[in-house]
Amino acid sequence: MGKRGFASDNNSGVHPAILKALSDANVGHAVGYGDDEWSARAINKFKEHFGNNIDVYFSFNGTGANILSLKTLSCSFNAILCADTAHINVDECGAPEKFTGSKLVPISTPDGKLTPELIKPHLHGFGFEHHSQPGMISITQVTELGTLYTIEEIKAITTLAHEHGMYVHLDGARIANAAAALNKSFKEFTVDAGIDVISFGGTKNGMMFGEAVIFFNPELSKFAKYYRKQSAQLYSKMRYISTQFLAYFEDDLWLKNATHANKMAGLLAEHIEQIPEIKITQKVQANGVFAIIPEELIPILQEEYFFYEWDENRSEVRWMTSFDTEEEDIVNFTKLIKQYFDK
């Protein structure tokens, strides 16, 4: 059994209910590629959460979901605007550029969140063929810095985008943590807020694998099935993703997991805030804590807990909590930190 830690919510294992669902679906034959009963039911579950007018495509992973989202709603001559900290910009080895052929326009932000003010300077050159045409905006909710957009903030962005004939993608790798933190339904801060397509994450919140791309205007996604196949994201034994999503929605497992993870991050932040030598650098709004700590403390802590340095230049670290983080983890970890400063 591996060392526990705060490296990433994908270092956690799989929730037992998910594992059971995999086992339950392991009966007999099923038609491949999504034409099975589990998949039909899973898509219905998504409709319960997002409304009936959606078009859903399961994918293996988050990068796969993102490139499918972006490719379906853009052309290669488009520019895709995003925060410079966006996963699509810094953590996907250029998969979006490779698969879409488009230019990514990274925008610097203080907190991982785009705003109309930050976006507007990039909304020019429309119709001017020398310039990649602004075509999409991609935001992440919860952001890569652990911060949250309010519904109003999202609406301000989608309104601006639509005024310019652009689409808005929401990278929801941690969308469950966002819903839990906002205490809102998925629908309220996505389709109702004007979002056109989301990557709906499962893997970081207790699933084994599997994400979903959800288009909110099926007119626009008629070719998505081909792009999914062409991007090698169509799973043959689809029932094993679908059954996970069924378990994920059953008894609000997604919400319990996310709420717990968020609570653990809050608890960690509470403990850390009591240590005057440490500066928390971003609002703790979901399941991540960003902090500047003494450089020499980092390897000391990493001996017992996994986590990543976020910005080496200023000794900033990132601590992620998960559905399986335990209070004891928090207590022991902060104890280690306090010991260092008490020396």
Look-up: residue for tokens 């853009």? 74
- Tell me: does residue 75 bind a copy of itself (CB under 8 A): yes
Identity of the residue, 183 or 313, whose beta carbon is nearer to a copy of itself in the bound complex: 313
Q: Count of residues binding a copy of itself (CB under 8 A)?
A: 83
* Measured distance CA(11)–CA(41) in Å, rounded: 29
| Only segment of 76-84, 141-149, 150-158, 248-256 that touches a copy of itself (CB under 8 A) | 76-84
DSSP 5: B
- CB count within 10 Å of CB 277 equals 11
- Tell me: does residue 8 bind a copy of itself (CB under 8 A): yes
Name residues contacting a copy of itself, limited to 93-152 (CB under 8 A).
93-95, 97-99, 101-106, 121, 124, 129-133
Question: Binding string to a copy of itself for residues 37 to 66, with x set by CB under 8 A, is what?
Answer: x----------------------xxxxx--
Smallest distance from a copy of itself to CB 313, Å = 8
Identity of the residue, 209 or 340, whose beta carbon is nearer to a copy of itself in the bound complex: 209
- Tell me: does residue 318 bind a copy of itself (CB under 8 A): no
Name residues contacting a copy of itself, limited to 292-311 (CB under 8 A).
306
Contacting residue, 85, 143, 231, 282, with a copy of itself by CB under 8 A:
231
For residue 271, give the 3-state DSSP assignment: helix
CA distances from 209 to 19, 137, 164, 247 (A): 11, 26, 36, 13
* Measured distance CA(293)–CA(312) in Å, rounded: 11
Name residues contacting a copy of itself, limited to 145-184 (CB under 8 A).
none
| Only segment of 6-14, 138-146, 149-157, 276-284 that touches a copy of itself (CB under 8 A) | 6-14
For residue 324, give the 3-state DSSP assignment: coil
Could you please report the per-residue DSSP string of 109-169? -SSS---HHHHGGG---TT-TTSPEEEEEEEESS-TTS----HHHHHHHHHHHHHTT-EEE
- Tell me: does residue 227 bind a copy of itself (CB under 8 A): yes
* Measured distance CA(333)–CA(327) in Å, rounded: 10
- Tell me: does residue 14 bind a copy of itself (CB under 8 A): yes
Name residues contacting a copy of itself, limited to 192-211 (CB under 8 A).
203-204, 208-209
Contacting residue, 50, 149, 216, 240, with a copy of itself by CB under 8 A:
240
- Tell me: does residue 85 bind a copy of itself (CB under 8 A): no
Contacting residue, 162, 237, 283, 335, with a copy of itself by CB under 8 A:
237
Identity of the residue, 105 or 255, whose beta carbon is nearer to a copy of itself in the bound complex: 105
For residue 3, give the 3-state DSSP assignment: coil
Identity of the residue, 25 or 269, whose beta carbon is nearer to a copy of itself in the bound complex: 25
* Measured distance CA(298)–CA(309) in Å, rounded: 8
Phi, psi dihedral angles at 124 (to 5 degrees): -145, 170
- Tell me: does residue 12 bind a copy of itself (CB under 8 A): yes
Phi, psi dihedral angles at 22 (to 5 degrees): -60, -45
